[in-house]
């Protein structure tokens, strides 16, 4: 069934939009020490591009487009890749909208910030390996504790046999169903009076049949049960590969992790493909 593009969310390629497109993470800003010299870690020119300006240290940005309650598509283009064009240290994907990395902390000097306990807050494609990256911190990539998962695409190689990803396009599709309202959740938990008919009594299902129990609740309450969101990737116009990632109901933002001095990625499009569920 073909999806229709709606105007609910404008594409980022709109030249009239001059609002900021990228937000650096709390750990990806100059700290004001003598080694930083006040130099920014990123350059956001052109408007929808992000260019990394320091070497050997991973830094992260998120987009300003909140992806929630619907089916969305985000497209990236790799404009420049250091490390011989291999894309080493570049990850593009999405990040949890409630990840601590995007929350400004107001802790006192020497006091550790209190962070929300989420085991995984960002998911993306590692361009040098072609594999899925899942990480507990958007600033941490493949060699900083992130998990390396399934292969999403074969590594692109030049005629000389060297890996190259400059010019690569990556499309990401996210589907996040609208979560139930508080009234729906309360309604689904109510106790209902049943007749004396043996087939009309409450039914208990084993763990492997929980989906049937959800359908039973839906039949009684009329309230839909929220389904987990899913995530898919496509490279250079290829087949969309669906992962086993379940996106959070709170929504996600576009996310880019860069490591080399001169790595540059452009978010060419971010649009909604279907209306709210």
Cα angle 113, 118, 121 (rounded to 5 degrees) comes to 100
Q: What is the DSSP string of 247-274?
A: E-TT-EEEEEEE-STT-EEEEEEEEE-S
Asked whether residue 258 is assigned to any structural domain, the reply reads yes
Q: 0.85 exceeded by the pTM?
A: no
Distant-in-sequence, close-in-space partners of 55: CB < 8 Å, separation ≥ 6: 82, 259, 260, 261
Q: pLDDT in tens for each of the 277 residues of the chain?
A: 444 344 334 444 444 456 779 999 888 887 665 555 567 899 998 889 999 998 878 999 999 999 999 999 999 999 999 888 888 899 999 999 999 888 765 445 555 545 455 689 999 999 988 999 999 999 988 777 788 888 888 766 555 555 578 999 999 999 998 765 444 444 444 444 445 555 555 555 555 555 555 444 444 444 444 567 899 999 999 999 999 999 999 999 999 999 999 999 999 999 999 765 4
Q: Which helix (H) or strand (E) holds 92?
A: strand 91-96
- Number of domains the chain is built from: 1
Instruction: Give me the CATH number covering residue 46.
Output: 2.60.120.920
What's residue 86's pLDDT? 84
What's residue 207's pLDDT? 54
Asked whether residue 193 is assigned to any structural domain, the reply reads no
Residue 141: closest CA among 93, 193, 203, 194:
93
Asked whether residue 21 is assigned to any structural domain, the reply reads no
φ and ψ of 210, to 5 deg: -60, -30
Asked whether residue 161 is assigned to any structural domain, the reply reads yes
What's residue 206's pLDDT? 59
Asked whether residue 214 is assigned to any structural domain, the reply reads no
Contact 64, 254 (CB under 8 A): no
Distant-in-sequence, close-in-space partners of 254: CB < 8 Å, separation ≥ 6: 62, 63, 65, 67, 74, 76, 93, 94, 95, 172, 267, 270
What's residue 2's pLDDT? 42
Q: Each residue of 43-74: b (16+ CB within 10 Å) or e?
A: eeeebbbbbbebeeebbbbbbebebbbbbbbb
Asked whether residue 91 is assigned to any structural domain, the reply reads yes
242: domain range?
40-103+117-178+226-272
């Amino acid at each position: 069934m073909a999806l229709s593009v709606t105007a609910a969310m404008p594409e980022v390629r709109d030249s009239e939009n001059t609002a900021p497109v990228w937000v650096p993470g709390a750990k990806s800003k100059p700290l004001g020490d003598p080694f930083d010299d006040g130099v920014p870690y990123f350059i956001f020119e052109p408007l929808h591009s992000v260019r990394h300006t320091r070497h050997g240290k991973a830094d992260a940005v998120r987009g300003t487009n909140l992806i929630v309650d619907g089916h969305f598509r985000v497209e990236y283009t790799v404009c420049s890749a250091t490390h011989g064009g291999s894309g080493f240290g570049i990850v593009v994907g999405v990040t949890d909208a409630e990840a601590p990395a995007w929350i400004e902390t107001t802790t006192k000097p020497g006091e550790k910030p209190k962070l929300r306990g989420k085991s995984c807050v960002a998911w993306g494609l590692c361009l040098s390996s072609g594999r899925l990256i899942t990480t507990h911190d958007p600033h941490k990539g493949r060699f900083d504790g992130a998990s390396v998962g399934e292969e999403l695409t074969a590594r692109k190689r030049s005629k000389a046999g060297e890996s190259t990803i400059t010019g690569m396009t990556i499309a990401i599709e996210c589907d996040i169903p609208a979560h139930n309202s508080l009234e729906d959740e309360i309604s689904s938990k109510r106790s209902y009076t049943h007749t004396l008919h043996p087939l009309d009594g409450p039914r208990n299902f084993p763990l492997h049949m929980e989906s049937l129990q959800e359908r039973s609740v839906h039949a009684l309450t009329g309230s839909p049960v929220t389904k987990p969101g899913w995530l898919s990737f496509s490279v250079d116009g290829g087949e969309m590969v669906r992962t086993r990632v379940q996106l959070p109901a709170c929504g996600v933002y576009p996310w880019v992790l860069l490591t080399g001095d001169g790595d540059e990625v452009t978010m060419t499009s971010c649009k909604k493909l279907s209306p709210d569920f």
